[in-house]
C-alpha cells in the first residue's frame, strides 16, 4: 500500500506539471499569434487562404490553354482568388489573435472580389455579343455597391442593423433581377444560339450568386440580428461560403471555357 501511495504521489505532480507545461505552451502559441491545433475555424482560414493561392495559379496557367475569348475571364477570375487569398491571410491572423469576426477585412475583400465577379457576367457575354449594352454592367455594379455598403454599415452600427440588412438584401435582389429576368438573362439566351458553353457558364454562375450567396444574409440575420449563432459557427460558415462562391464560381467559367476549347479542337 505504501508503494502504491508513493507512486501515486509521484504521478499526481507529474500530471500537474504536464498540464502546466501545456498551458504555458498554449499561452505562448496564442501570444505569438500562431494557429492552434484545437481551433477548427482558424484551420479553415488557413486552408482557404492556400486554396485561393492554388486556384489563382491554376487559372493563370489555364488561361494560356483556352480560346482567346475566355482568357480575360480567366485573368479576372485569378484576380478574384488572389485578392481573396491576401485578405484571408490577414483574416486568419486576426482570428488567431483575437478570436472574433474580422468584419473589416471581410468587407474590404468583398468590396473588390464581388465587383470582379459581376464583371465576369459581362465578360463572358460580351465575348459573343460585342454590342452588349454597358447598362447591364452598371446595374450589376449598383446592386453590388448597395448590397455591400448597407451590409457593412449595418454590421458596424453606422446604420440600424435591421435597416442595413433590409437595404443590403434589396441590393442583392436587384442583382438577381438583372441576371434572371433582366438584360443579362436575355443576352445569355441569345448567346446560347452561337455558343452553348457561354450559357452553361452563365447558368452555373447565376446558381452560385442566388443559392451560394444566400448564406451571407442568413449569417447576418441569425448572427447579428438574432444573435442565435456564435462567432465560431458564423465564421466557419462564411469561410465555407467563400470557398464555394469564389473558387467554384471561377472554376465554372474555366470548365465551360475548357469544354469550348476542346470542342473547337475536335475532341
Mean pLDDT of the chain: 89
Instruction: Report residue 96 as a C-alpha cell.
Output: 488567431
Q: What are the tens digits of pLDDT across the range 205-240?
A: 999 999 999 999 999 999 889 989 999 999 999 999
Instruction: Report residue 13 as a C-alpha cell.
Output: 505532480
> pTM score, two decimals?
0.86
pLDDT at residue number 21: 52
Of residues 110, 27, 81, the one with CA closest to residue 102: 110
Domain ranges of the chain: 1-32, 38-264
Nearest-angstrom CA–CA distance, 143 and 129: 23
Higher pLDDT, 11 or 151: 151
pLDDT at 55 over 90: yes
* Of the listed ranges 11-25, 112-126, 158-172, the one predicted with least confidence: 11-25
Q: What are the tens digits of pLDDT across the range 126-148?
A: 988 888 888 999 999 999 999 99
Count of residues in the chain: 267
Q: Taking residues 175-198, what's their average pLDDT?
A: 92
- At 25, the pLDDT band (50, 70, 90 cuts) reads low
pLDDT at residue number 51: 97
> Which CATH number is 38-264's, of 3.40.50.150, 1.20.1070.10, 2.60.120.260, 3.40.50.300?
1.20.1070.10
Q: Vertex 78, ends 73 and 83: CA angle to 5°?
A: 130
pLDDT at residue number 23: 57
Amino acid at each position: 500500500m505504501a508503494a502504491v501511495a508513493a507512486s501515486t504521489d509521484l504521478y499526481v505532480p507529474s500530471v500537474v506539471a504536464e498540464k502546466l507545461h501545456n498551458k504555458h505552451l498554449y499561452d505562448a502559441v496564442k501570444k505569438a499569434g500562431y494557429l492552434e491545433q484545437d481551433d477548427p475555424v482558424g484551420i479553415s482560414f488557413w486552408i482557404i487562404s492556400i486554396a485561393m493561392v492554388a486556384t489563382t495559379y491554376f487559372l493563370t496557367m489555364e488561361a494560356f490553354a483556352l480560346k482567346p475569348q475566355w482568357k480575360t475571364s480567366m485573368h479576372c477570375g485569378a484576380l478574384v482568388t488572389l485578392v481573396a487569398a491576401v485578405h484571408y491571410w490577414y483574416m486568419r491572423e486576426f482570428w488567431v489573435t483575437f478570436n472574433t469576426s474580422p468584419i473589416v477585412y471581410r468587407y474590404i475583400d468583398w468590396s473588390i472580389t464581388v465587383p470582379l465577379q459581376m464583371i465576369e457576367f459581362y465578360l463572358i457575354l460580351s465575348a459573343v455579343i460585342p454590342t452588349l449594352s454597358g447598362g447591364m454592367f452598371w446595374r450589376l455594379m449598383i446592386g453590388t455597391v448597395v448590397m455591400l455598403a448597407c451590409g457593412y454599415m449595418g454590421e458596424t452600427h453606422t446604420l440600424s442593423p435591421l435597416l442595413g440588412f433590409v437595404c443590403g438584401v434589396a441590393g442583392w435582389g436587384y442583382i438577381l433581377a438583372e441576371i434572371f429576368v433582366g438584360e443579362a438573362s436575355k443576352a445569355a439566351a441569345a448567346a446560347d444560339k452561337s455558343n452553348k458553353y457561354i450559357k452553361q457558364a452563365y447558368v452555373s454562375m447565376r446558381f452560385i450568386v442566388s443559392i451560394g450567396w444566400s448564406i451571407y444574409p442568413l449569417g447576418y440575420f441569425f448572427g447579428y440580428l438574432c444573435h442565435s449563432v456564435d462567432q465560431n459557427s458564423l465564421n466557419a460558415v462564411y469561410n465555407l461560403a467563400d470557398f464555394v462562391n469564389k473558387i467554384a464560381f471561377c472554376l465554372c467559367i474555366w470548365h465551360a471555357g475548357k469544354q469550348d476549347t476542346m470542342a473547337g479542337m475536335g475532341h
